[in-house]
Structure 1
Amino acid sequence: MTVFSRRLLITAAASALLLGCSKTETPAPQASAPAADPAAAAPAPALPAKIVIGLDDNFPPMGFKDEKGQLVGFDIDMAREAAKRLNIEVEFKPIDWNAKEAELKGKRVDALWNGLTITDERKQNIAFSAPYMENHQIIVVKADSAIKTKPDLAGKVVGVQDGSSAVDAVNKDAELAAKFKELKKFGDNVTALMDLSAGRLDAVVVDEVVGRYYVAKKAAEYSVLDDNFGTEEYGVGFRLDDKPLVEAFDKALGEMKADGSGAKIAEQWFGKNILK
């Protein structure tokens, strides 16, 4: 082999070696990261810093003004404790209870918390919390009244608070209600009971929590019949689209029931635990 041929062979071998070293390998495809779940990543809706609670301020012992003009009552204390646990400021606003659904829908208040009865009809316009207590629509008469049973109300003048559950309860017993001489509606239960005392009414149908509160104050003047117009449940009312707020207050009320703080509030106002 000549010197020239040897040089050509060495050069060719070197070129082949360089080409082999410079070859680029295609990287193996990387597995794609799993897509994030939008539902899992979404933060929980923030609760408002403050809510306005609408109430009837003449509905003792649930909510009313004391001798100093301050709003007090069982539902007031329950609402304050629940809002405190949720770190929400609460304002109480007296409203026309007969227009409560319009006040809520119009966003003049954010909740209704004042012995609000849960009914199928109201559920069409109101989102309710879980029920927190039971109540009856009792019949209050004067202590010396000849009325002893529901049928005795035939031909009598019966009073109710306008816009209250007593109206619905009486109307459900349509056969008996048709026999009343008159179903007279009042702006509040206090006025109705005053008319009963004055003899302008024969009976008053009223929420048990309210009726017994007043009867206890004047035990010698009033009597409560064994018959009543049915059992109902109380709940807190919110707007239909306020589901996060409903869930938050359900949780707070559940905690209050579990740790005994709700029972303590009930005992202060009723002398016993009446929470459901």
Structure 2
Amino acid sequence: MKKILLVVLVLFLGISTLGFSKDKVITKGKFVVGLDDTFAPMGFKDEKGNIVGFDIDLAKEAAKRMNLNVEFKPTEWSGIIFALKGGNIDVIWNGLTITANRKKQINFTKPYLANRQSIVILNKNNIKSKQDLKNKIIGLQLGSSADTAVMSDSIYKNLKNIKKYDSNIEALLDLEAGRIDAVVVDEIVARYYIAKKEKRENKKIYKVLNDDFGREEYGVGVRKGDKEFLDLLNKALDEMKKDGTTAKISKKWFGEDIVLK
């Protein structure tokens, strides 16, 4: 009888432990951030090869508050959701747009930044609106929300061609070289890149149109099963907003507090 009771007790404790076990991310003591390391100012490599950026600073601060370590892993953007679902990374923290399609595959934190899919042209170009893109060649990053936004727009069928690049920087360089007519890109990224390049060269090169391909919000992407980790991450981000840490990081990278309240 005692043996039977002992076996039952062991089984019960085992089931109980499984029922209250922590997410694997929390258990291993760190989370791995997947990112496109050319996506300035969200996450990119500086002159010394260090990964820096607005999202990088946010992730480091959140990790500290969660008592976890954080690792940054450059990942091909077009396959980054597969990398998350496959366990190669634990979060996507790199200006990731919250979309209905992505919500079917992964979970998101609360939104923390607003953005729009802006249209960038050369300053000397006479394109004035989205409608002027008819019969033009536009560039964008493969697998980005710009890709989805353009494909979903009615003007898509009237474009001459769409060139898809591994990074936004490649697209903007091709625009400057005259190989394409416009680039559709996250406005936050576009304005940071433009300001930096034009300051360096001391001349006006690009122009951002008032028209866009839609407005959106950024969130951190997390696996569907990592609910406890997601709750802990949201808590850390809420605390960072309340005590002004997020605003301080925003001013460092954008010159002002642009974080969603």
Confirm or deny a common fold (TM above 0.5).
Answer: yes
1:70 aligns with 2:50: yes
Match of 1:45 in 2: 22
TM-score normalised by structure 2 residue count: 0.88
1:149 equivalent to 2:129? Answer yes
Answer 1 or 2: which has greater helix percent: 2
1:201 aligns to what SS in structure 2? coil
1:125 aligned partner, one-letter code: Q
Select the residue among 224, 227, 241 that pairs with 1:243. 227
1:43-79 per-residue CA deviation (whole Å, 9 max, x = no partner) reads 6836231111100001000000000000000000000
Instruction: Summarize the alignment of residues 64-143 of structure 1 with structure 2, pairs less than 5 Å apart.
Output: 64-143=44-123
What does residue 31 of structure 1 align with? Answer: none
- Tell me: higher relative CO, structure 1 or 2? Use CA pairs within 8 A at least 6 residues apart: 2
Structure 1: segments with no counterpart, 5+ residues: 1-37
SS in structure 2 at match of 1:138: strand
4+ runs of 1 displaced by more than 4 Å?
Answer: none
Counterpart position of 1:169:
149
The one-letter code sitting in structure 1 at the alignment partner of 2:93 is W
Q: Which has the larger radius of gyration?
A: 1
Distance in 1, matches of 2:108 and 2:197, equals 34
Alignment-derived partner of residue 213 in structure 1: 192
Task: Output the CA distance in 2 between the equivalents of 1:168 and 1:129.
Answer: 21
Provide the rounded CA distance (Å) in 2 between the counterparts of 1:93 and 1:60. Answer: 15
Q: Give the corresponding residue for 2:4.
A: none
- Tell me which amino acid in the other structure corresponds to 1:80: K
Which 10-residue stretch deviates more, 216-225 or 230-239? 216-225
1:234 counterpart letter in structure 2: Y
User: What's the C-alpha RMSD, in Å, of the aligned pairs?
Assistant: 1.5
State the distance in 2 between where 1:157 and 1:274 align: 32
Structure 2 gaps, min length 5: 1-14, 199-203
Q: Map 1:25-44 to 2 at 5 A.
A: none
